[in-house]
Structure 1
C-alpha cells in the first residue's frame, strides 16, 4: 500500500530540517491535534492518536534528501519517507510517502486514517 502527501514548500533549508528531525523529540511538534501520548524512545518515538492504536517508529535513515521512519513493531511492515528537495538556501520542497505491506483487510481499515495522518503531518510541516 502506497500513500502520498502533497508536495509543500518549507521555509527552511534541508540542513535545518535534518537538524530538527534527527532527534526523536523533533517530531512532537509535527503531530496532529488528535495526539494523545508521545514518548521518546531509543532511536525513535511512540505515540497514539485519538481513535488509533499506539504506533512506535524508529528513525532509520536521515540525510538532506530523505528521512525514513520505520515501524518498530515486527508485526507491522511499513516505512514513512520524507523526501526533501533543496530549492534554495532557505527553502525545501517536502513530500511524505508511506509504503506499507498489509493484507487486504488491514489495508481497508487503515488506508483512510493513514492518509488523514499524512495530510495532518504535511500541514504541520508546512507551518514550521
Structure 2
C-alpha cells in the first residue's frame, strides 16, 4: 500500500459543523464553482457518493464507506482506473476551529507510483486547501 497525505490545514469553524457538511456530499453543490474546470469535469453527487472526470485519468466515483462522527469520513472508489481509499480527518483545536488532513491509500506498483506521485500529491493538497477555505 502506498500512502499520500496532505498537509494539515486549519478551518475557522467548529469540528461538528465541518463534519456535518462534509459527511453529506449533497452539501458540496456550493463548492462546485471552486474546482478547477480545466482539471475536473462532469461532477455529480448525492449524499453518499461523488463522481467526476479528471483529465487525463478519466471517470472516478467515490462512495462514503464509513463515517466516524465528527472525526473521520472514509471513501472508497467504486469506479476508478486506479482503486484507492480516501480519508478526511478532522481534529478540534478550539471551539470555533479544527484541523483537516486528507489521506489517500492505493495499491500501486513502483512504476505507476513514479508516474502518479506528484500529480496525486498536488491534487490532494489542492483539495485540502479548497476544503479549508469554504464557508461551513
1:35 to 33, 40, 44: 40
What's the offset of the Cα at 1:65?
Answer: 1.1
TM-score (ref. length: structure 1): 0.86
Q: Is the 8 Å Cα contact of residues 84 and 104 (structure 2) preserved in structure 1?
A: yes
C-alpha distance 32-75 of structure 1, shift in aligned 2 (>3 A): closer
Q: Deviations over 1:28-73 (max 9, x none)?
A: 5276313211012572011112333211100112221111111113
2:123 to 114, 117, 122: 117
Q: Is the 8 Å Cα contact of residues 32 and 117 (structure 1) preserved in structure 2?
A: no
Question: Once superposed, what is the RMSD of the aligned Cα atoms?
Answer: 2.2
Which residue pairs with 2:59 in the alignment? 54
SS in 1 for 2:122: helix
Which residue pairs with 1:65 in the alignment? 71
Q: Is the 8 Å Cα contact of residues 80 and 99 (structure 1) preserved in structure 2?
A: yes
TM-score (ref. length: structure 2): 0.81
Partners of 1:105 and 1:74 lie apart in 2 by: 18
Q: Is the 8 Å Cα contact of residues 19 and 71 (structure 2) preserved in structure 1?
A: no
Q: Is the 8 Å Cα contact of residues 14 and 85 (structure 1) preserved in structure 2?
A: yes
Deviates more, 1:75-84 or 1:25-34: 25-34
Matched residue pairs, number? 128
Which residue pairs with 2:24 in the alignment? 23
C-alpha distance 37-68 of structure 1, shift in aligned 2 (>3 A): same
C-alpha distance 32-107 of structure 1, shift in aligned 2 (>3 A): farther
In the alignment, structure 1 segments of 5+ residues that lack a partner are: none
SS in 2 for 1:47: strand
Which residue pairs with 1:13 in the alignment? 14
